[in-house]
Structure 1
Amino acid sequence: MTGSDLRTQGTRAEETDILIVGGGLGGLTLAAYLARQGREPTVVEQAVEWRASGYGIGLWADGLAVLDELGLLDAARDRAADPDGFEVRTSGGGVLARTTLPARRTLLFAIHRADLHAILRERVPSEWIRMDTAPARIEERANDVAVTFEDGATETFDLVVGADGVHSTVREQCFTDWTPREYDTYVWSLWAAQDIDVGRDMVSVWGPGSEGFVARIGDRVGFNLAARLEEPPEPPAREALRAHAEAIGWQLPALLDGTDDHPFFDRVRDVTCERWRTDRVVLLGDAAHAVHPISGMGASLALQDARVLAQELATGLPGEVSGPLARFEKRRREDAADVRRAARFEAAVTFLESDRLRRLRDALVEHTPLFELFVERQATELNTVRSPTR
């Protein structure tokens, strides 16, 4: 057993009463790790029921390593695309760059967020989760945190974890030194059973001020499209989606023709927090460091946050909370900052509208190893996991 195994599994369960606000990917992952330590956290989720919509997400090596450690990698593989390669196409479909992914190592999954969420729920007892509620008031005190919920009930906890996303209630109530950023970019996501030939690669197609991202999972094709828009449209903005799909070309118009479903639709945002924690309250995932989704790293960051926080809580002294929270933030802040910087650069390069600048960019990608270097950065050797024989 490795040192990291000992840190995540632990052999004792301290009597620390933990509230996790938000039953998304990061919150459920943390609950799963705490369950392995013999703890029983409370998870509160504002939604009335789990949603079936959401992005198609890329899960890179850091995120896959967490699923592997929790024993969920095979379940995820059954519902994900484990591609042969990753390619970039220009508007109209011509290939600018392609990199082959090693057959004996899993570096990247494409998976629907709802499918990954359902897999993580398998590790969290349903009685730990309270739906249709959220904190109305959070009061941090010397020895505990008093939380008043929307129904008026007040409970006390030793630790409150804000895993409640980019619009975090915990961050809003407990932190002041954070900065939200809204982009003029919007994202649509559609998943539907289709027989349109998109190949076995994950494909990024660059259009004028836009990007389409396509991956096949079994008989379904996942189709994300992000585009810069001058004015916020009325959701689900299918007419704008149609216009951008036709401007990008390749198989995107045909994929859109293949479904009448309403797309998931959202505005792109990121968040920068100067501090992620107080003595008894901590943020993780998008609540702490939401990044532009073009990075494909938001889910992996959240899963790693949960893993590291669980490690620090497991190795802290009995009853200690503040020290583990400080160590968690120290270990995770640099990774999140690196992803944010890279994502902002990638967005600036991808969503170009000038024809001249797009031609220059396309030439650089086609005739230099920039794309291959990007994939190498995302898929580090340290956290790769073995693939079954294909």
Structure 2
Amino acid sequence: MHATKIIIIGGGIGGAATALALHCAGLDFTVYERSQQLREVGAGIALWANATHILKNLGLLEDAIQVGCLTTNYQFNSQRGKELVNIAVYGFELPVIGIHRAELHQLLWRNVPREKFILGETFERFERRENRVCAYFKSGLSVVGGALIGADGLRSQVRTLLLGDQPPTYRNFKTWRGLTDYIPNGFRPGYIQEFLGCGKGFGFMMLGKGKMYWYAAAYAPEAQPDAAISRKQELERMYQDWFPSIPELIAATEEANILTTDLYDRPPIQPWSQQNITLLGDAAHPMLPTMGQGACTALEDAYVIAKCLQASDPITAFQNYESLRFERTKAIVIKSLRSSKMGELTHPLAVGFRNALMKVMSSAISNSFNSLHAYRT
């Protein structure tokens, strides 16, 4: 174990998970977060078995089960509700959990000493000084450490300084996310249910505390503004003739609880580490949400980077961390993009062929899915 201080830029799920993993490993660190409060925006996520494995190692699995909802099946359907693929996800030694992002975030940072989080500090740049790194912030604050981890998201400033100001790649989809207390009649307990149509899709799942999370995605130009009518009314029109639970969920959701974002990723590249500075989570390998692995791989990253830092000096540790993580995250980025292409189909004949192919390929899809979540660090 080494005694150097580690600077973490970003206090979201990836940064908070890294903080907890380093804390459990007995390492010295401080997290610098630009927001004035530690909070996650967004709605729900699925923590697949590869992620609940990390929570178990960090001592949080039982707490996550208490505030989440156990998931047993992942079902793909046509837009009218005809089943295409039904994947059982309860065969692992670890559960799959539906959880609100904010609940997961709180579980992570509440198990770390509060003084380890410095809020309201916007990172601007770094300088290397021999084997040290100095981080500078907009407020005028500067801090020195033996290593720096950029966990500052899709548009990471740390990444820009390391790898250049290349923008992320827009992948032709706009997404909406909603949260409601309403449980539709068509919901199957324990299921994540997704519905695929012509150039758009919809899914929903239970979270903890009786909350239903839903998400929609549609083929759209980048930065398309909201319709003149409200987001809610726009969605009601888009999905009016879909499986009955879908318009029911939209109607039951308050306008303020509907969020929208464009979807981006980046082509996987190496290196994402330089000497005693590295990237983690979306800063390193942003991916589309089609495989549900963004937060899950950030948890994996956090655990692996802590183990590497516990074993060696930061430069060697970051080289080992990247070598352990690159091929896996590259594969998931590519699979997530490939999966999104299936959603771009708009011609009814192409959509019909896709649906028929999914039914034929059901076993192969299930095996691929399970192999992804069987990963253990």
TM-score normalised according to structure 2 size? 0.91
The match for 2:330 is 337
Instruction: Specify which of 278, 281, 297 is matched with residue 277 of structure 2.
Output: 281
CA contact (8 A) 1:42 1:129 kept: yes
Q: Distance in 2 between matches of 1:52 and 1:286?
A: 15
1:124-156 Cα offsets, whole Å, 9 max, x none, are 111111112121221123221121111112221
Instruction: Specify which of 49, 69, 80 is matched with residue 61 of structure 1.
Output: 49
Does residue 116 (structure 1) correspond to residue 112 (structure 2)? The answer is no
The match for 2:140 is 152
Does residue 299 (structure 1) correspond to residue 295 (structure 2)? The answer is yes
The match for 2:343 is 350
1:147-169 Cα offsets, whole Å, 9 max, x none, are 11111122211111000110101
> How is 1:9-88 mapped onto 2 (pairs within 5 angstroms)?
12=1, 14-51=2-39, 53-88=41-76
Return closer, same or farther for 1:86/1:221 CA change in 2, 3 Å cut-off.
same
> How is 1:221-300 mapped onto 2 (pairs within 5 angstroms)?
221-230=212-221, 232-234=223-225, 237-246=231-240, 248-262=242-256, 263-272=258-267, 273-300=269-296
Return closer, same or farther for 1:44/1:61 CA change in 2, 3 Å cut-off.
same
SS in 1 for 2:125: strand
CA contact (8 A) 1:40 1:128 kept: no
Instruction: Specify which of 212, 216, 219 is matched with residue 210 of structure 2.
Output: 219
Q: Distance in 1 between matches of 2:32 and 2:98?
A: 28
Q: Please report how far the alpha carbon of residue 103 of structure 1 lies from its aligned counterpart in structure 2 after TM superposition.
A: 6.4
Q: Distance in 2 between matches of 1:145 and 1:332?
A: 23
The match for 1:361 is 354
The match for 2:369 is 375
What percentage of residue pairs aligned between the two structures are identical?
A: 25
Deviates more, 1:324-333 or 1:126-135: 126-135
Q: Please report how far the alpha carbon of residue 243 of structure 1 lies from its aligned counterpart in structure 2 after TM superposition.
A: 3.1
Q: Please report how far the alpha carbon of residue 245 of structure 1 lies from its aligned counterpart in structure 2 after TM superposition.
A: 2.9
Q: Please report how far the alpha carbon of residue 256 of structure 1 lies from its aligned counterpart in structure 2 after TM superposition.
A: 0.9
CA contact (8 A) 2:71 2:90 kept: no
Give the ranges of 4+ consecutive aligned residues of structure 1 lying more than 6 Å apart after TM superposition. Answer: none
Q: Distance in 1 between matches of 2:222 and 2:273?
A: 36
CA contact (8 A) 1:177 1:274 kept: no
Return closer, same or farther for 1:312/1:103 CA change in 2, 3 Å cut-off.
closer
- Structure 2 unaligned segments of length 5 or more: list them: none
CA contact (8 A) 2:75 2:192 kept: yes
Tell me how many residue pairs correspond in the alignment. 368
SS in 1 for 2:136: strand
For 1:297, give the aligned amino acid: Q
Return closer, same or farther for 1:28/1:214 CA change in 2, 3 Å cut-off.
same
Deviates more, 1:183-192 or 1:228-237: 228-237
For 1:199, give the aligned amino acid: R
Deviates more, 1:84-93 or 1:236-245: 236-245
Q: Distance in 1 between matches of 2:40 and 2:149?
A: 24
Return closer, same or farther for 1:178/1:311 CA change in 2, 3 Å cut-off.
farther
Return closer, same or farther for 1:104/1:280 CA change in 2, 3 Å cut-off.
closer
Q: Distance in 2 between matches of 1:366 and 1:161?
A: 43
CA contact (8 A) 1:20 1:27 kept: yes
The match for 1:3 is none
1:107-127 Cα offsets, whole Å, 9 max, x none, are 422222111111111221111
TM-score normalised according to structure 1 size? 0.88
SS in 1 for 2:14: helix
Q: Please report how far the alpha carbon of residue 178 of structure 1 lies from its aligned counterpart in structure 2 after TM superposition.
A: 5.7
Does residue 204 (structure 1) correspond to residue 204 (structure 2)? The answer is no
CA contact (8 A) 1:92 1:248 kept: yes
Q: Distance in 2 between matches of 1:221 and 1:315?
A: 42
Return closer, same or farther for 1:178/1:331 CA change in 2, 3 Å cut-off.
farther
Q: Please report how far the alpha carbon of residue 177 of structure 1 lies from its aligned counterpart in structure 2 after TM superposition.
A: 8.4
